[in-house]
């Protein structure tokens, strides 16, 4: 474990603001929910959290990118839904943690374009090839404001639940202290295995599974 240092994030100017906070009882447990908006774009964010937010307590956090098909419809083309559930369960078990839910559907290309990419995948392209055929970067997401939100929530020392090194780098660049990466590997359904292999081989995700 790295040693915790002064919170550098306090030097940054925040580009997000919290609008409201409320209770949100769920099937997994009782959470709180906060609504944030960006001060520099139309983007909105939701934070699902639980327990006391304390900068010096190494707190479980996740940046979760909206995946309508996986989070809501239970799609097995990807592992988003089970990852979100697992993150919520870990926070419920520890009694403390926060998930920033960012509305960057389909790695930032939007839901309709994601469905266009799925149509190309039906014809044999993998997830990276499909995005590139449509003229999008493989991953257009931006995580800086999500990290600012974690700071604004009152956090600094964090344990990040993610397999994505880009998210961890973004949190560190924003000045938070990443003390640990907590892996979120869920049992991949058969149809998701090709997607996960692409994530590992083409996008550098830190997945342990063997083909
Ligand atoms: Zn997904």
How many other β-carbons are positioned within 10 Å of the β-carbon of residue 132? 15
- Chain segment 147-158, per-residue pLDDT in tens: 999 999 999 999
> What pLDDT does 211 receive?
45
> What pLDDT does 61 receive?
98
141 or 116, which is more confident? 116
User: Strand 44-50 to strand 157-161: parallel, antiparallel, or no bridges (unpaired)?
Assistant: unpaired
- Chain segment 184-205, per-residue pLDDT in tens: 877 766 556 767 777 777 777 7
- With a cut of 90, say whether residue 108 has pLDDT above it: no
- Chain segment 117-147, per-residue pLDDT in tens: 899 999 998 888 888 888 887 776 778 899 9
Give the rounded percent of residues in the chain with a pLDDT score beyond 70. Answer: 90
* Pairwise CA distance, residues 129 & 143, whole Å: 23
H helices of 8-126, in order, are: 80-94, 105-108, 111-122
* Pairwise CA distance, residues 152 & 29, whole Å: 24
Region 163-192: what's the mean pLDDT? 84
Q: Is residue 110 part of a domain?
A: no
Q: Is residue 17 part of a domain?
A: yes
Cα(13) to ligand 1 centroid in Å equals 31
Q: Is residue 5 part of a domain?
A: no
Of 62, 71, 107, 139, which one is the catalytic site residue?
A: 139
Q: By the 8 A CB rule, do 26 and 46 touch? A: no
Of 116, 141, 152, 157, which one is the catalytic site residue?
A: 141
Task: State the residue range of the domain holding 190.
Answer: 13-66+84-103+141-203
Ion ligand 1 — residues with CB < 5 Å: 67, 70, 78, 80
- pTM confidence score: 0.85
Cα(167) to ligand 1 centroid in Å equals 16
- With a cut of 90, say whether residue 46 has pLDDT above it: yes
Cα(58) to ligand 1 centroid in Å equals 27
Q: Is residue 22 part of a domain?
A: yes
Mean pLDDT taken over the chain = 88
CATH of the domain at 170: 3.40.50.10990
> What pLDDT does 148 receive?
93
> What pLDDT does 1 receive?
47
5 burial (CB, 10 Å; 0-12 / 13-18 / 19+) is exposed
Q: Is residue 163 part of a domain?
A: yes
Cα(185) to ligand 1 centroid in Å equals 14
Q: Is residue 1 part of a domain?
A: no
- With a cut of 80, say whether residue 63 has pLDDT above it: yes
> What pLDDT does 151 receive?
95
Q: Which of 84-93, 105-114, 129-138, 182-191 has the lowest mean pLDDT?
A: 182-191
Q: Is residue 75 part of a domain?
A: no
141 annotated active-site? yes
Q: How many domains does the chain have?
A: 1
Q: Is residue 150 part of a domain?
A: yes
107 annotated active-site? no
> What pLDDT does 137 receive?
76
């Amino acid at each position: 474990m790295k040693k915790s240092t002064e919170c550098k994030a306090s030097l940054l100017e925040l580009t997000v603001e919290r609008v409201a906070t409320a209770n949100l009882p769920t099937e997994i447990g009782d959470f709180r929910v906060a609504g944030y908006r960006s001060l520099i774009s139309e983007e909105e964010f939701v934070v699902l959290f639980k327990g006391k937010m304390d900068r010096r307590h190494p707190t479980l956090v996740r940046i979760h990118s909206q995946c309508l098909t996986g989070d809501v419809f239970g799609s097995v083309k990807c592992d988003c839904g089970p990852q979100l559930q697992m993150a919520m369960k870990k926070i419920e078990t520890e009694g403390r943690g926060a998930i920033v839910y960012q509305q960057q559907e389909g790695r930032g290309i939007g839901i309709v374009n994601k469905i266009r990419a799925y149509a190309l995948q039906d014809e044999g392209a993998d997830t990276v090839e499909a995005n590139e055929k449509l003229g999008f970067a493989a991953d257009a997401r931006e995580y800086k404001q999500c990290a600012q939100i974690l700071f604004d929530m009152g956090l600094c020392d964090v344990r990040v639940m993610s397999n994505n090194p880009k998210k961890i780098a973004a949190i560190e660049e924003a000045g938070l202290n990443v003390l640990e990466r907590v892996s979120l590997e869920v049992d991949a359904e058969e149809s998701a295995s090709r997607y996960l292999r692409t994530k590992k081989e083409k996008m550098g995700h830190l997945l342990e599974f063997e083909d």
